[in-house]
Amino acid sequence: MLASLSIRDIVLIDRLDLVFQPGLSALTGETGAGKSILLGALGLACGERADRALVRAGADQGSAIAVFEPPEGHGAFALLAEAGISFDPGEPVILRRIITADGRSRAHVNDQPASVGLLRALGDVMVEIHGQHDGRGLLDPKSHKHLLDDFARNGERLGAVSRAWETLSAARKHVEKLHADKARAAEEETFLRDAVDALDALSPRAGEEEVLAAERRFLQQAETALSDLQAASEAFSGSDAVASRLNHALKGLERVKASLGASVSEDGAQANALAALGRASGALERALIEFDEAESALGDAASAFEVEPGALERAEERLFALRALARKHQVEVDALPALRAELADRLDAVADGEGRAREAEAALKAAQSDYARAASALSDARSQAGAKLAEAVMAELAPLKLDKARFRVAVTSDEARAGPSGWDAIAFEVSTNPGAPFGPLDRIASGGELSRFALALKVCLAGPDSGIVMVFDEVDQGVGGAVADAVGHRLARLAEGGQALVVTHSPQVAARAGHHWKIAKAAEGEEMRTRVVALDGKERREEIARMLSGAEVTEAARAAADELMAS
């Protein structure tokens, strides 16, 4: 709902604050009084093009502030969140536009700087203006598909088409990827095959580089170590070997002990000598045992360093081959086994690509068939709903003095337009004269006809209150009497549970309104100013009587006004 409109220094309005109510509000006044200025200011606040000519003469800038109170869950709140505009649930949405005398423009939403594009997007979901200032809502061809789907209650069918489109899009991407992979793999096949063969020939193992490097170090040191061990072994052999000397010494000690005899007292010099001989011979015996063990260990050590001829060359050759292959593929040596698996997979893709591509193509054809069925069903539903809507609109045209006009909903299907909402183009088309061709609604109909067509459409499309403010600019242009009464009756119906504003010259329309504003232009000093006055009771009766009789209000006109207001 539009809660209020504040205007400062726009054309003939220096200062104006209007507070609106739900239901139907009529704005009346003589031609040129400034009714279009109000609609222009509302359009300015809702993101319409700014023209510096709107700024009142002598003022530095002009401004328009529109305060809306959309219902909970309204699309305006999603737009605010997307744009990063902070708001509290349930608070009004305030659109403010300032234009300076030199043509510069500034926009604010809820007192936060914003783009004019955001203002217009918010205006698009909160206001429909029909008439000479039209450009939104029903007369925008881009909205016709959505309006027809709402009328047809196509929610489930749209969901089916959207899901089918998502599946179809995924299948297409999969096929494209497989073809791209296949083409890329085919180009690399020779390289891949050679690389895999080279890796298979070398058969690298994880951790092998470290093992080979350690083996190489050992083999490089083995020759020197073996030479030293052999020299040590030679020290144990020969005629003057230590073992021979130790044995010779031990035998000498045994002879000395034998010469002393076995019976020796426990005291005296003889006993001490025998004890010393025992210790010496024991030490020599242990030395001989250790000598034998040392000689055996030297032999074992020498055997350990006796490596197979060519072992160093073979270890170095494999180590260098692994490192060279790793450099070629720009990986670590330990990554070669994983690289082999990856390259083999890519090589297999060349062989398996045909099979996988056939499977993907089959899935794509199935998805295309599913989408075609869903889109065709939606097209059929749209065509049927379009015929019903056209019939309903045609029934509304005669009471609105458009009995010679024809209306149709053109549903054109084209697979090239396929998308998540189907492959149809929807257009509301009219023919305003017998024999005249059909054409776009916003190009064929005149200003007054546009408003009445929009009114007829809105009546037929009316559903639960969407929170959109409907504005009709001189919807009664060129009509009167019963037709004007029909217009007023339909406007009142539309405004039930919602809000509609109508700029009108028709007393029949004004009499149907729940709220009435009179717009007048008067001289203030040397300047003209537009003023807006809320009418009620006698004042409203007087205004409707003026609209009925003209400049001189008669009692008969007042009586007719009473009758209209009571109907």
Nearest C-alpha neighbor of 511 from the set 546, 541, 534, 552: 541
Q: Say what the pLDDT of residue 128 is.
A: 84
Phi and psi at residue 160, in whole multiples of 5°?
-65, -40
Among 144-148, 385-389, 422-426, name the one with the lowest average pLDDT.
144-148
Q: Which two tokens stand for residue 382?
A: 């749209």
**Antiparallel, parallel or unpaired: β 499-503 and 469-473:** parallel
Query: Could you write out the DSSP letters of every residue in 508-550?
Result: HHHHH-SEEEEEEEEEETTEEEEEEEEE-THHHHHHHHHHHH-
pTM of the model: 0.62
Q: Which two tokens stand for residue 21?
A: 């109510």
The DSSP H or E segment spanning 439 is strand 439-440
The CA distance from 80 to 118, in Å, is 8
The alpha helices in 71-143, defined as continuous H runs, are: 75-83, 116-126
Evaluate if residue 381 carries a pLDDT over 50: yes
Which strands form 13-19's sheet, in the order they lie side by side? Answer: 13-19, 2-10, 61-68, 93-100, 105-109, 112-114
Q: Say what the pLDDT of residue 518 is.
A: 92
Which strands form 424-431's sheet, in the order they lie side by side? Answer: 406-413, 424-431, 439-440
Q: What average pLDDT does range 325-352 have in this prediction? A: 83
Q: Which two tokens stand for residue 190?
A: 């020779």
Q: Say what the pLDDT of residue 109 is.
A: 94
The alpha helices in 61-115, defined as continuous H runs, are: 75-83
Summarised one tens digit per residue, pLDDT across range 184-241 is 767 777 788 888 888 888 888 888 888 878 767 766 666 565 555 565 666 566 545 6
Q: Say what the pLDDT of residue 524 is.
A: 76
The CA distance from 276 to 259, in Å, is 15
The CA distance from 445 to 138, in Å, is 13
pLDDT category at 5 given cuts 50, 70, 90 is: very high
Evaluate if residue 499 carries a pLDDT over 70: yes
Q: Percentage of residues in the chain with pLDDT exceeding 70? A: 84
Q: Say what the pLDDT of residue 436 is.
A: 85
Summarised one tens digit per residue, pLDDT across range 428-469 is 998 888 888 898 876 766 666 777 888 888 888 876 666 788
Q: In the Cβ-directed half-sphere of 264, how many Cα atoms lie within 13 Å?
A: 16
Choose between 247 and 228: higher pLDDT: 247
Evaluate if residue 486 carries a pLDDT over 70: yes
The alpha helices in 236-268, defined as continuous H runs, are: 242-260
Can you give the three-state secondary structure of 196-227, one letter per residue?
HHHHHHHCCCCCHHHHHHHHHHHHHHHHHHHH
Helix axes of 242-260 and 269-304: crossing angle, nearest 10 degrees: 160
The CA distance from 567 to 555, in Å, is 18
Summarised one tens digit per residue, pLDDT across range 392-414 is 999 988 888 888 889 999 999 99
Choose between 513 and 32: higher pLDDT: 513
Number of H helices, E strands in the chain: 16, 15
Q: Say what the pLDDT of residue 282 is.
A: 75
The CA distance from 146 to 151, in Å, is 9
Q: Say what the pLDDT of residue 94 is.
A: 95
Q: Which amino acid is at 200?
A: D
Evaluate if residue 133 carries a pLDDT over 50: no
Which strands form 469-473's sheet, in the order they lie side by side? Answer: 127-130, 469-473, 499-503, 23-28, 515-524, 527-535
Nearest C-alpha neighbor of 295 from the set 339, 238, 248, 253: 238
The DSSP H or E segment spanning 109 is strand 105-109
Nearest C-alpha neighbor of 97 from the set 51, 173, 155, 44: 44
Number of other residues whose CB lies within 10 A of the CB of residue 250 = 17
Q: Say what the pLDDT of residue 24 is.
A: 93
Summarised one tens digit per residue, pLDDT across range 258-313 is 776 655 555 566 677 677 767 877 777 787 777 777 766 756 555 555 555 666 67
Choose between 364 and 266: higher pLDDT: 364
Q: What average pLDDT does range 1-22 have in this prediction? A: 92
The CA distance from 166 to 332, in Å, is 42
Count, residues in the chain: 567
Q: Say what the pLDDT of residue 42 is.
A: 92
Evaluate if residue 169 carries a pLDDT over 90: yes
Choose between 127 and 30: higher pLDDT: 127
Choose between 486 and 141: higher pLDDT: 486
The CA distance from 121 to 115, in Å, is 10
Q: Say what the pLDDT of residue 241 is.
A: 65
Query: Could you write out the DSSP letters of every residue in 158-190?
Result: HHHHHHHHHHHHHHHHHHHHHHHHHHHHHHHHH
Tell me which residue has tokens 């007393």. 507
